[in-house]
Structure 1
Amino acid sequence: MTTTTALPASTPSAPVDPSRWPDVARVPNVPLRAAAAARVLRRVAARRGLRVDLPGGRTLQPAPPGAPVLRLHRPRAFLHRVGESGLIGFGESYQAGEWDSPDLVALLTELATAPHTLVPPGTQWLRRLYVQRPPAAEVPTARNARRNVHRHYDLSNDLFALFLDRTMTYSSAIFPTGPDGAPLATRDGLPAAQHRKIDRLLDLAAVGPGTRLLEIGTGWGELALRAAARGARVVSLTLSEEQLALARRRIADAGHTDRVQVRLCDYRAAEGRYDAVVSVEMIEAVGRPFWPRYFATLDRVLAPGGRVALQAITMPHERMLASSSTYTWILKYVFPGGQIPSLRAIEETAARHTRLRVTHADTWGPHYAQTLRLWRERFAEHSPEVAALGFDEVFRRMWELYLAYSEAGFRTGYLDVHQVLLTREEAGR
């Protein structure tokens, strides 16, 4: 049985508001599960070579020099949270200030490497004690999707402007590469890298003068602007009112209102026929049950001879299947209703439900790790401005963890990002 014990606030400087963060303010009392979590922590630290620092200058056990550090400020609260809800509790414990690390990305990268090996063999059944299914209110139906989008993308345009570059592009960039193939990522080079990504997608979709282009997922309008500059006529769909307002303003300022329409519209309600469809990191919000409808929509609106260019965050197929019904910390706090596909799932869903076929795919995972690094560094530098916008310390720690966790996922290959071209074999050809 789970009971609740009232414990002191996580940090004297920033007490947790229980009305805003009920599950962060609440510390569970689950002694047996906490004891099991302590055994798992000791095993993970030994197998992964982590240093676990405890209050009073103690360490959990010896660790090699240079080991990633998990610094526990309140071990009891940490163990009870992890014991009750696994990785959700791990994230909530960070939000509460109960643990940190001098190099958060290094720690999370180690934990994200082969994550299925963290729990001892023979004890996987214990996951049933804490793994939850996503709540019905967050399943991205036509009714719920707008609310899911609102919770993330309508936080504040000013917030996103603090850590994105001047293009206001919130997806992986593509950087130049060095002789070893590694991305050469610098902050000054981020706008050009975002344009390189956008231009590559527009090239995949063969967007040029006179192209009728549908964009599903407007963002803040940069792709639509570059397509209009090529002479295309663009219809762009979004469910974010904040993005809608700023994208329209940017398009007007650039003098492209005659070429670009931005509509507040669900992808399922898309109308018209288009020579090209482009969608950048939007499929992750569609949800696995609705992937057939998403691809059917692409097929329905695509004119004969048309091309679809997608940019999608992906994960290995077996990991996708294993996690597709699991409620995670990211889903609870950052991207409600989301589901990351695999490249295989994209290929199979399109082939099973439409006439579209994947004809080309490129992978850019290391570039996303570097993009996230630049965003994370800017977010940390602008922490006072984030606070001035009204976001409390729990929120700021939540975003620190989200950006670092995502970066670690791409560094390890647990996550990837693909640019995919889909074309249609026309009847009679």
Structure 2
Amino acid sequence: MTHTPPEQTPVSPSKSSRTSSNQPAPLRSLAGSNKESWLTRLSRQAVLRQLRALNRGTLSVHENGQTLHFGQADSDGLHAEIHVHDAAAYSTIASNGSVGSGEAYIHGFWSTPDLTAVTRLFVRNLDVLDAMETGIARLGAPALKWLHWLNRNTLDGSRRNIQAHYDLGNSLFENFLDPSMMYSAAIFPPSEDDLEQAQWNKLKRICNKLELTADDHLLEIGTGWGSMAIYAATHYGCRVTTTTLSDEQYAFTAQRIRELGLEDRITLLLKDYRELEGQYDKLVSIEMIEAVGHEYFRNYFETCAARLKPHGLMLLQAITIRDQRYDQARRSVDFIQRYIFPGGSLPSISLIGELTRKHTDLAMLHLEDIGSHYARTLRHWHHNLIAARGELQHLGYDDAFFRLWEFYLCYCEGGFIERSIGTAQVLLSKPDARPKLDLYAMGE
């Protein structure tokens, strides 16, 4: 049987039918393993050999009525299970590495009762994960890098990349986000697990750190669906200028602003951050930097510094990668970059410090890691996505699309739990700023 790999663009529903052209291949029973190609047999041997190196946590692989066991028990008892439904899973993983594991899941070649546990296990065993990128997988790496280069964030490229993700349809996001429509890490108060309340708590924390007042003109880079701009304008009485590259987000936010009668306080733009002009008292950017791209990080911070008045403050909320993994991440392309956020990349904390120190007059005043809160946020989103599966199918989002997004959410949740990625709120200041830095407001 010929195995057709996923297309080279993020799986997205068309406006007419919303049925992805990336349908999973028909499942093939492992019972006919004697008919498998030599490549499939070699791929299986290679993948299982790599799994034998697992030593932090355990894995059970169920196939053809048998169960294979790998790994060693870790202190917290981390255990994952994988059910292989199609031998093509092995050749897909062997040829495309960790990206291939996601592709095989999208096609239905394997499944698991706990996708987050699978992700955690491999993040905890990074040597095994790295080994998957060797061998045959090396042959496909140049193609992945070429595709990623084509998605670089030039002015035109940024618009295409943002629209590839955020213009999938507001109905998709409305079905798994909470009513606040915030698509970023929440901050959960102690003993609270309500996602919407945690999102409002996050915005309050941001505004407190910025010491926002009615006299301020706040610039927001990355509008989302308008929640931050509306919250700041209604709770603090300040003026807000906010910009996005997503047509869907722009239309949604414009309608919210009109309905709330906030046209006099909120200016909504459909512009690239590099095209902004003027200076502002405060600047906020919530999980937008991940869409900037490695080669444009310096320009991003230079632009932010230029848009602030001499007494200005900036609050950056960013998903970050471990400092020790940043250089490797620059040289590779992962599942998220390939199928979810084309052109995307994560900065590290040390990189943020280095770029602001060398190329701007911004000083880092405060840093808070909220990565554990992101894991909880993603868990809520995943549960909401599962609950909305029937509605999403009715809207035309097919099974392959659903598995893609399920893999994406659990992939990220596992990364945050294992702290291979984090989320930081970073407060930066211009030279003339004299913030109070109230520790209570900072959330200490």
**One-letter amino acid of the structure 1 residue matched with residue 170 of structure 2:** N
Per the TM alignment, residue 320 of structure 1 is displaced from its structure 2 partner at its CA by: 1.5
* CA deviation string 1:30-89 (max 9, x = no partner): 454553223213443x7631111112x211247879831011111x20110011110111
Return closer, same or farther for 1:393/1:26 CA change in 2, 3 Å cut-off: same
Answer yes or no: is 1:413 the counterpart of 2:384. Answer: no
Answer yes or no: is 1:40 the counterpart of 2:72. Answer: no
* 8 A contact 1:201–1:310 mirrored in 2: no
Q: Could you say which residue in structure 1 is the equivalent of 2:84?
A: 72
**One-letter amino acid of the structure 2 residue matched with residue 355 of structure 1:** D
Distance, in Å, in 2 between the alignment partners of 1:314 and 1:339 is 9
Farther off after superposition, 249-258 or 132-141: 132-141
Q: Could you say which residue in structure 1 is the equivalent of 2:301?
A: 295
Distance, in Å, in 2 between the alignment partners of 1:320 and 1:290 is 15
Answer yes or no: is 1:49 the counterpart of 2:58. Answer: yes
SS in 2 for 1:324: helix
Q: Could you say which residue in structure 1 is the equivalent of 2:201?
A: 196
Farther off after superposition, 362-371 or 194-203: 194-203
The one of 394, 417, 424 equivalent to 2:400 is 394
Answer yes or no: is 1:82 the counterpart of 2:87. Answer: no
Q: Could you say which residue in structure 2 is the equivalent of 1:21?
A: 22
Return closer, same or farther for 1:165/1:22 CA change in 2, 3 Å cut-off: closer
* 8 A contact 2:313–2:429 mirrored in 1: yes
Return closer, same or farther for 1:79/1:124 CA change in 2, 3 Å cut-off: closer
CA RMSD of aligned residues (A): 2.8
Per the TM alignment, residue 9 of structure 1 is displaced from its structure 2 partner at its CA by: 11
Q: Could you say which residue in structure 2 is the equivalent of 1:93?
A: 104
Distance, in Å, in 2 between the alignment partners of 1:25 and 1:257 is 52
Farther off after superposition, 324-333 or 360-369: 324-333
SS in 2 for 1:81: helix
* 8 A contact 1:34–1:84 mirrored in 2: no
**One-letter amino acid of the structure 2 residue matched with residue 416 of structure 1:** G
Answer yes or no: is 1:137 the counterpart of 2:142. Answer: no
SS in 1 for 2:331: coil
TM-score normalised by structure 2 residue count: 0.85
Distance, in Å, in 1 between the alignment partners of 2:421 and 2:329 is 13
The one of 351, 362, 366 equivalent to 1:360 is 366
Distance, in Å, in 1 between the alignment partners of 2:174 and 2:125 is 34
SS in 1 for 2:364: strand
Return closer, same or farther for 1:151/1:118 CA change in 2, 3 Å cut-off: closer
Return closer, same or farther for 1:354/1:134 CA change in 2, 3 Å cut-off: farther
**One-letter amino acid of the structure 1 residue matched with residue 22 of structure 2:** W
Give the ranges of 4+ consecutive aligned residues of structure 1 lying more than 6 Å apart after TM superposition: 22-29, 62-66
Return closer, same or farther for 1:384/1:107 CA change in 2, 3 Å cut-off: same
**One-letter amino acid of the structure 2 residue matched with residue 6 of structure 1:** T
Per the TM alignment, residue 24 of structure 1 is displaced from its structure 2 partner at its CA by: 7.1
Q: Could you say which residue in structure 2 is the equivalent of 1:60?
A: 68
Per the TM alignment, residue 105 of structure 1 is displaced from its structure 2 partner at its CA by: 1.3
Q: Could you say which residue in structure 1 is the equivalent of 2:354?
A: 348
Return closer, same or farther for 1:120/1:162 CA change in 2, 3 Å cut-off: closer
Q: Could you say which residue in structure 2 is the equivalent of 1:181?
A: none
Distance, in Å, in 1 between the alignment partners of 2:184 and 2:400 is 24
Work out which structure has the larger RCO, using CA pairs closer than 8 Å and 6 or more positions apart in sequence: 2
Return closer, same or farther for 1:274/1:8 CA change in 2, 3 Å cut-off: closer
Distance, in Å, in 2 between the alignment partners of 1:9 and 1:421 is 43
* 8 A contact 2:24–2:400 mirrored in 1: no
Per the TM alignment, residue 325 of structure 1 is displaced from its structure 2 partner at its CA by: 2.4
Kindly report which structure 2 residues correspond to 1:369-384, keeping only aligned pairs within 5 A, or say none. 369-384=375-390
SS in 1 for 2:263: coil
SS in 1 for 2:256: helix
Identity of aligned residues (%): 37
The one of 154, 172, 184 equivalent to 1:171 is 184
Return closer, same or farther for 1:85/1:8 CA change in 2, 3 Å cut-off: closer
Q: Could you say which residue in structure 2 is the equivalent of 1:14?
A: none
Kindly report which structure 2 residues correspond to 1:158-307, keeping only aligned pairs within 5 A, or say none. 158-178=171-191, 184-185=192-193, 189-229=194-234, 230-307=236-313
Distance, in Å, in 2 between the alignment partners of 1:24 and 1:270 is 46
Distance, in Å, in 1 between the alignment partners of 2:25 and 2:340 is 14
* CA deviation string 1:194-251 (max 9, x = no partner): 1111111122222210211100000000100011111111110100000000111111
Distance, in Å, in 1 between the alignment partners of 2:67 and 2:26 is 27
**One-letter amino acid of the structure 1 residue matched with residue 354 of structure 2:** E
Return closer, same or farther for 1:390/1:424 CA change in 2, 3 Å cut-off: same
Distance, in Å, in 2 between the alignment partners of 1:51 and 1:194 is 37
Distance, in Å, in 1 between the alignment partners of 2:25 and 2:278 is 46
Q: Could you say which residue in structure 2 is the equivalent of 1:403?
A: 409
Per the TM alignment, residue 126 of structure 1 is displaced from its structure 2 partner at its CA by: 6.9
* 8 A contact 1:30–1:84 mirrored in 2: no
Distance, in Å, in 2 between the alignment partners of 1:113 and 1:308 is 34
Answer yes or no: is 1:6 the counterpart of 2:2. Answer: yes
Give 5+ residue unaligned stretches, structure 2. Answer: 7-17, 29-36, 434-444
Distance, in Å, in 1 between the alignment partners of 2:38 and 2:274 is 45
